[in-house]
Structure 1
């Protein structure tokens, strides 16, 4: 694990927490993204789990830079001891860039957002509910451009900072191509939205694939700019 990748990620997390209107919620988002339990983080910091809970819930005053540094360092230490998978994933995409005709929008949320709230924001109809109820960001992708122009590594970079997100595919006819493409990508996102069609036009196997790979699936026929405005209004 290179110190550069770790240091760059640490700066990103700390900066996001510092600039957030809800720093506790942002801390919780990153902890859950790293699959670290409150008790495990508390043990590493040598504090009680209630201290971590109080910071995340906002019951304690906003954490100062020293506290944030310790929290971020503990998360990264735990990940490195597990093999550093999350740090490597973030390192792959921190500098990733895409042409605007491939990716219309890619952003991370300051806190986890419920899948249902995301679907409501873009007037989407849910076809299948997966096992995860929240996402921490979204990527809006032109499905044809992504499938025809991106390599498998570049396709994975569409996840942004985490697979805990919603992938929204535009330029969709039935949804077959992007859903089949997702079958060879591991892990899959928490939610997928097919844009530009209604539930009657979607591929009849779409919900079956969503069930197999355990992600939430929805469709929306809102116009592109309206959908983007809805997503950018989250959380």
Structure 2
């Protein structure tokens, strides 16, 4: 694995923590994103778990640069010993030309996976059945950031290596903006999953657009971190 993604990710995490109004909360966010317990991190740093808990809860003064650096390297070292999944995920997003606050994850599968299996993994409710019943990858996208910052060409790059994939949009209000944006991209994905919406909140015309363009449309309210982890598990 190249050192560049690890170095850039380290700089990103350290910068977010150092500039955060709630550095302890930001440390906690990154620790949980790496799926590292307070005990595991404490052992890596050779401190007690209560020290980590105190920093994350704000009971201790904000961590200085030296401690932030140690925590960041500890998280990355733990990830590398586990196989480097989080670092590789970040590298994939970078290589596709996206910022990680726009695209949370971009994965290719080693074989086609039934869409139904994807939906089962993330407790998704299918509203419209599409023309295809399998996918070969997924992309998790921050809808608001994507609409504000991506061109139509950028939207096409969300497909990664294949359009035979599921696009998962987070930060949704009604689902109108991403579905309209997809209309200018040809071809369309095999599945679109809108996160954080109930059926009654969905834009009225969303199912009609899905039927016209031939993609499966589904909704899920699973916690986005768990959703991301469950989708990654499909790659193993």
- Fold shared, TM-score > 0.5 on shorter chain: yes
Give the corresponding residue for 1:139.
139
The separation in 2 between residues aligned to 1:132 and 1:139, in whole angstroms, is: 17
Give the corresponding residue for 2:233.
233
SS at 1:200 equivalent: helix
The Cα shift of 1:151 comes to 1.4
SS at 2:147 equivalent: helix
Give the corresponding residue for 1:37.
none
The Cα shift of 1:210 comes to 0.2
Indicate conservation of the 8 Å contact 2:128/2:216, yes or no: yes
SS at 1:163 equivalent: coil
The Cα shift of 1:226 comes to 1.1
The Cα shift of 1:152 comes to 1.3
Of structures 1 and 2, the one with the larger relative CO (CA 8 A, separation 6+) is 1
The Cα shift of 1:95 comes to 4.3
**RMSD after superposition:** 1.5
* Structure 1: 4+ residue segments shifted above 6 A: none
Give the corresponding residue for 1:182.
182
Indicate conservation of the 8 Å contact 1:139/1:158, yes or no: yes
The separation in 1 between residues aligned to 2:159 and 2:178, in whole angstroms, is: 14
Kindly provide the CA deviation profile for residues 80-134 of structure 1, in whole angstroms up to 9, marking residues without a partner as x. xxxxxxxxxxxxx994221110000001001000011111111110000101010
The separation in 2 between residues aligned to 1:121 and 1:199, in whole angstroms, is: 19
Task: Pick closer, same or farther for the CA change 1:196–1:94 going to 2, 3 Å.
Answer: closer
**Gaps spanning 5+ residues in structure 1: where?**
1-92
Task: Pick closer, same or farther for the CA change 1:217–1:96 going to 2, 3 Å.
Answer: same
Give the corresponding residue for 1:165.
165
The separation in 2 between residues aligned to 1:217 and 1:169, in whole angstroms, is: 11
Indicate conservation of the 8 Å contact 1:94/1:161, yes or no: no
The separation in 2 between residues aligned to 1:199 and 1:226, in whole angstroms, is: 21
The separation in 2 between residues aligned to 1:131 and 1:179, in whole angstroms, is: 17
CA radius of gyration, larger in: 2
| Matching of residues 99-138 of structure 1 within 5 Å | 99-138=99-138
The separation in 2 between residues aligned to 1:231 and 1:95, in whole angstroms, is: 20
Indicate conservation of the 8 Å contact 1:196/1:221, yes or no: yes
Query: How many matched pairs?
Result: 143
The Cα shift of 1:209 comes to 0.4
SS at 2:155 equivalent: helix
The separation in 2 between residues aligned to 1:192 and 1:111, in whole angstroms, is: 19
Give the corresponding residue for 2:57.
none
